[in-house]
């Protein structure tokens, strides 16, 4: 079998290469590098091809190739019927998408950013999420709401909110938050194939980041199960749990800490709801320490939920210290670069929190 080479490129700023070569030497194919943007594009392309009920609608998704170019080339390939440009009417087009799903199609509804989903949140929650339950199983809603979530760079308060906690609060929704390209592709395909409403939280800063992807991810039937976290890095001293962009920050922190003899286990949640608590618990029962890392605000957030779940489960008795949450600062996002940088978890914040939790 071909040698496997694992390469992490994080944050677009510093490349840390960790090469692990296994197996016997043979001429191997060049490692396939795919950006998150292209992975999402591939996922949608493949699912559009596979199932004619799938279609994409949203602002600028068609002729503009997507506000962030995620849907580049799709309109040219599939045309007006399947790739639909909407007017700026989030509540209207989200409702239309939900209605289309109720009538048997499989829409992908793009919000240019999830900040604008607030205009339409009633349709996501009351029309999409709750309907299967209210109808006692008569009416399903196979829809994906996707778009960039959380902070970008310099877009200020109204365009930088993380909605993971808001959507993950609600029964009837699945909430997915991929980190790398493989996540993006496998999870988006799974979301589109899922017969339930899925909120798919992307990250604008990750779109351009290339990752090496596995051979199997190149298959048109490659999916990643929703609801299963992934251990990105094995470790024994402390568990770091994160989602989306900050998984990369955790891995960066782990690399620095490794040099100081602190061995971190890094878990990529991949799905916020249903959360893979068992994966976290298993890890905590091994490491006895837990730090959660997220971009969203602390109150009632993803980290808060993890803390509560750990307390309620078997892992609590294995904790040697309270769980630490590393989160965005509890303020609306400021504009100035220095303020913005200090509003979000930095690698040094994670390192600091790990050391405090370990009391080293």
Q: Which is nearer to other proteins, 99 or 298 (CB)?
A: 99
Q: Which helix (H) or strand (E) holds 174?
A: strand 174-176
At its nearest, how many Å lie between other proteins and the CB of residue 170? 11
Whether residue 178 contacts residue 230, with contact meaning beta carbons closer than 8 Å, is answered with: no
Q: Report the distance separating Cα 153 and Cα 155, nearest Å.
A: 6
Q: Which is nearer to other proteins, 95 or 345 (CB)?
A: 95
Provide Rg for the chain, Cα atoms: 20
Q: Which is nearer to other proteins, 124 or 253 (CB)?
A: 124
What is the SS3 assignment for 257-288? HHHCCCCEEEEECCEEECCCHHHHHHHHHHHC
Q: Report the distance separating Cα 131 and Cα 137, nearest Å.
A: 8
At its nearest, how many Å lie between other proteins and the CB of residue 135? 4
At its nearest, how many Å lie between other proteins and the CB of residue 358? 27
At its nearest, how many Å lie between other proteins and the CB of residue 95? 2
Q: Which of 59, 90, 110, 232 is catalytic?
A: 90
Q: Report the distance separating Cα 198 and Cα 188, nearest Å.
A: 9
Q: Which is nearer to other proteins, 186 or 197 (CB)?
A: 197
At its nearest, how many Å lie between other proteins and the CB of residue 123? 6
Whether residue 141 contacts residue 101, with contact meaning beta carbons closer than 8 Å, is answered with: yes
Question: Is there a catalytic annotation at residue 341?
Answer: no
Residues that bind other proteins in the complex, under the rule CB under 8 A: 55, 81, 84, 86-87, 89, 91-105, 122-123, 126-127, 131-140, 142, 171-172, 174, 195-196, 274, 312-313
Which strand ranges, in their side-by-side order, compose the sheet holding 106-110?
A: 83-85, 54-58, 106-110, 144-148, 198-202, 174-176, 271-273
Q: Which is nearer to other proteins, 156 or 319 (CB)?
A: 319
Question: Is there a catalytic annotation at residue 159?
Answer: yes
- Catalytic annotation, residues: 90, 159
């Amino acid at each position: 079998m071909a040698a496997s080479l694992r390469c992490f490129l994080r944050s677009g700023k510093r490349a840390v290469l960790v090469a692990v070569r296994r197996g016997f030497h043979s001429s191997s194919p060049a490692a396939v590098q795919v950006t998150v943007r292209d992975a999402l594009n591939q996922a949608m392309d493949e699912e559009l091809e596979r199932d004619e009920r799938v279609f994409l609608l949203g602002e600028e998704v068609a002729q503009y190739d997507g506000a962030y170019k995620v849907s580049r080339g799709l309109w040219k390939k599939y045309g007006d019927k399947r790739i639909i440009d909407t007017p700026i009417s989030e509540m209207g087009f989200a409702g239309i998408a939900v209605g289309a799903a109720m009538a048997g199609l499989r829409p992908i509804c793009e919000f240019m950013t999830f900040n604008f989903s607030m205009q339409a949140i009633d349709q996501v929650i009351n029309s999409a999420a709750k309907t299967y339950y209210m109808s006692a199983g008569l009416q399903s809603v196979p829809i994906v709401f996707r778009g960039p979530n959380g902070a970008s760079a310099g877009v200020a308060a109204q365009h930088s909110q993380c909605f993971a906690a808001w959507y993950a609060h609600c029964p009837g929704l699945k909430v997915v938050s991929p980190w790398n390209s493989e996540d993006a592709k496998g999870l988006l395909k799974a979301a589109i194939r899922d017969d339930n409403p899925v909120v798919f939280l992307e990250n604008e800063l990750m779109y351009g980041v290339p990752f090496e992807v596995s051979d199997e991810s190149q298959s048109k039937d490659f999916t990643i199960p929703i609801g299963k976290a992934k251990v990105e890095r094995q470790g024994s001293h402390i568990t770091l749990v994160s989602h989306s962009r900050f998984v990369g920050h955790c891995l960066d922190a782990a690399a620095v800490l490794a040099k100081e003899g602190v061995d971190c286990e890094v878990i990529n949640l991949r799905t916020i709801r249903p959360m893979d608590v068992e994966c976290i618990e298993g890890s905590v029962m091994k490491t006895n320490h837990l730090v959660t890392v997220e971009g969203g605000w602390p109150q009632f957030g993803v980290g808060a939920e993890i803390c509560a779940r750990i307390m309620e489960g078997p892992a609590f008795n294995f904790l040697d210290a309270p769980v630490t949450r590393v989160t965005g600062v509890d303020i609306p996002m400021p504009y100035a670069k220095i303020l913005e940088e200090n509003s979000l978890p930095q690698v040094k914040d994670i390192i600091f929190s790990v050391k405090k939790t370990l009391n080293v």
